[in-house]
Amino acid sequence: MCKRLLVAIDGSPGSDNALKYAIGLAKACSGALRLVHVVDAGWLAVGQELGLDIDRLADARRASGEQLLALASREHRQRSR
């Protein structure tokens, strides 16, 4: 029934609830989870005009997303036992 599940995460309470639900569903169906976090880089185009270090901002947002993915992955491993 549900062999592969795609779960978008952003650190919000709704995202956290969706992750918990998807973990339970994947466990019940012996399915696999794919976690995804999207970083919107469109706003970076105006960064230079505002005097912002856009590379530093992009790196920080990417690092934040990677941290969210790592936390979600850890939760998935813990709840899947």
- CATH code, 55: 3.40.50.620
**Residue numbers of the chain with a pLDDT score lower than 70:** 1, 43-49
Largest CA distance in the chain: 51
pLDDT of residue 75: 93
pLDDT of residue 81: 78
**Domain count of the fold of the chain:** 1
Q: Which domain holds residue 37?
A: 4-79
pLDDT of residue 41: 73
Distance from C-alpha of 80 to C-alpha of 19, rounded to nearest angstrom: 12
Which whole-number Å values give the CA distances from 75 to 24, 25, 27, 29, 52, in the listed order?
A: 11, 14, 13, 18, 35
pLDDT of residue 45: 64
